[in-house]
Chains A and B, each alone.
Chain A
């Protein structure tokens, strides 16, 4: 049995590890389109200011080498499921016994029709290569505009600010970090970023990237405002990388539809990582998400099931994020806001700390911790595993979280 993995990041690595546990001898091939060894993708913003070098964010042990798999740096452009065949950019065709699709996400290029988006000095930030290019280019820059105030945008903004650039972030939504925080937490973070000297513009749309001598010069916004920028970074978001699967006959909605064993609707094809859709345990919606830990779990389950083992996908959340921004930890999971008044919400703020819990009847469905991290995992796992809580338990939880802004 030959295994073929399409993808070169953590879902592929965990799947490979799982396959090797079950079948030490089987032939495994990995097709990865980035011409670099496996690396920790969430760390690429740290390359921008040089706080990490490219070598420092590589996996300590390169999975294909350690686990004995053949690695091809090539791009998969099509899957012929009937012939069990995969077409590659180089023209090569590979046969497979079982195929795992773990090609991850691709940056949203909503802005392709933005005038000037193709000019010199406009970058996306998704791969190691992107980060290296930005790092080289920023030596000639004094100002940078970042389109998109999500996690990647803000992380990039902080790194470029540390590198000494004057930074402007442009966000369409009324507040930054729309998917990771509610308006209160986002505003508190925005306030801290502004006080450091960054410019954050919300409810602004980019209209045109103005160039001079072929290079980025100014960003013009829909409101008529202009932002001077020697460099523009597009951090609008990520979508599942599934365009190459158009003719494969897979069932695809938001992402690839898979069962609990990560099997797609086509026999012998499995999928894992950022390109699958799953049910969010907090609100029951079908979602895709780009969370590292979800990719680890889905990759492991796919690898195990492909190679004859038994595993089921654990309950997952689409929001289960933790990060540190402007010196404040921000941990959020599940449902973060309640515009329709569906949930019972408890929130408390004091100094730099903010905590919020959202209950749906007898279940905790959402949490935000800003400035404090204490026991966050306990609450996140109550949400993830949909643990029913009695009234007394809920009251105790609220007392624990709200009463104790600083526990020693």
Chain B
């Protein structure tokens, strides 16, 4: 399964990902139409800051997802790619998923009265946040590939020390 990996040391907190997330979830996928929509689209990831560290916080599509366990309407489900998705028409806006998410990444769209969360951009190969990040702080990676990368990194450091 692919994960969105955040390298916090690269994040400037520029919020490009937040904007592109909104644009991607607009009716017409461009900024000018998005801001003029009657109910502007909501973002599904959140830049947060603690001290000097900034980072986007986004849905982990948890294996044992508390939002799905809390959903009382069957609106939240896991699709064939392992992504936790929502069926709009079933959501009644009870916000149980917001209450359940320990990461705080399910948001309330009060205008249309549904909960919104990351859907990994089903219309795109690379999610909008990842594609737009100017510093590549966000990357779409394979979990196994990531472990391999980290091992290689350690090896690289070791070998450069030896030299």
Contact = CB atoms under 8 A, between A and B. Distances in A.
Interface in B83-103: 92-103
Q: How large is the interface on B (under 10, 10 to 19, 20 to 34, 35 or more residues)?
A: 20 to 34
A323 B113 CA distance: 12
A202 interface: no
B103 A331 contact: no
A45 B143 CA distance: 43
A282 to B, nearest CB: 14
Interface string B64-106: 0010011011100100000000000000111111111111101
Contacts of A323: 94-96
Contacts of A277: none
B100 to A, nearest CB: 6
B74 A331 contact: no
Contact of B99 (A60, A296, A377): A377
Contacts of A373: 95, 98-99, 107-108
A293 B94 CA distance: 13
Pick from A296, A373, A381 the residue with the most CB of B within 10 Å. Answer: A373
Contacts of B69: 293, 296-297
Contact of A324 (B77, B93, B97, B101): B93
Given A42-B72, A60-B74, A322-B94, A375 B99 contact: no
A312 B119 CA distance: 30
Interface string A290-332: 0011001100000000000000000000001111100001010
A40 B99 contact: no
A245 interface: no
A377 B72 contact: no
Contact of B104 (A43, A46, A333, A375): A375
A40 B102 contact: no
A59 interface: yes
Given A60-B74, A293-B69, A377 B100 contact: yes
A378 interface: yes
Contacts of A378: 101-104
B108 to A, nearest CB: 5
Contacts of B94: 42, 322-324
B98 A377 contact: yes
Contacts, number: 77
A377 B106 contact: yes
A292 B95 contact: no
B104 A329 contact: no
Contacts of B106: 377
B37 to A, nearest CB: 16
B74 A40 contact: yes
A380 interface: yes
A293 B97 CA distance: 10
Nearest to A323: B94
A380 B96 contact: no
Contacts of B96: 292-293, 322-323
Contacts of A381: 102
Contacts of B100: 293, 320, 377, 380
Given A322-B95, A323-B95, A377 B74 contact: no
Contact of A46 (B66, B92, B98, B102): B92
A40 B72 contact: yes
B94 to A, nearest CB: 5
A319 B100 CA distance: 12
A376 interface: yes
A331 B92 contact: no
A59 B99 contact: no
Pick from B72, B101, B103 the residue with the most CB of A within 10 Å. Answer: B72
A37 B69 CA distance: 20
Contacts of A320: 99-100
A322 B100 CA distance: 9
B72 A292 contact: yes
Pick from A331, A333, A377 the residue with the most CB of B within 10 Å. Answer: A377
B149 to A, nearest CB: 30
A331 B70 contact: no
Interface string A35-56: 0000010110010000000000
B52 to A, nearest CB: 15
Contact of A377 (B73, B77, B101): B101
Nearest to B115: A373
Closest 8 CB pairs of A and B: A375-B104, A377-B101, A381-B102, A322-B99, A42-B72, A296-B69, A378-B104, A293-B70
21 contacts: A40-B72, A42-B72, A43-B73, A46-B92, A292-B72, A293-B96, A296-B69, A322-B98, A323-B95, A324-B95, A329-B93, A329-B95, A333-B99, A373-B95, A373-B99, A377-B97, A377-B100, A378-B102, A378-B104, A380-B99, A381-B102
Given A42-B73, A331-B99, 13 more contacts: A40-B74, A42-B72, A60-B74, A293-B70, A320-B99, A322-B70, A373-B99, A374-B104, A376-B98, A376-B104, A377-B98, A377-B106, A380-B99
Interface of A: 40, 42-43, 46, 57, 59-60, 292-293, 296-297, 320-324, 329, 331, 333, 373-378, 380-381
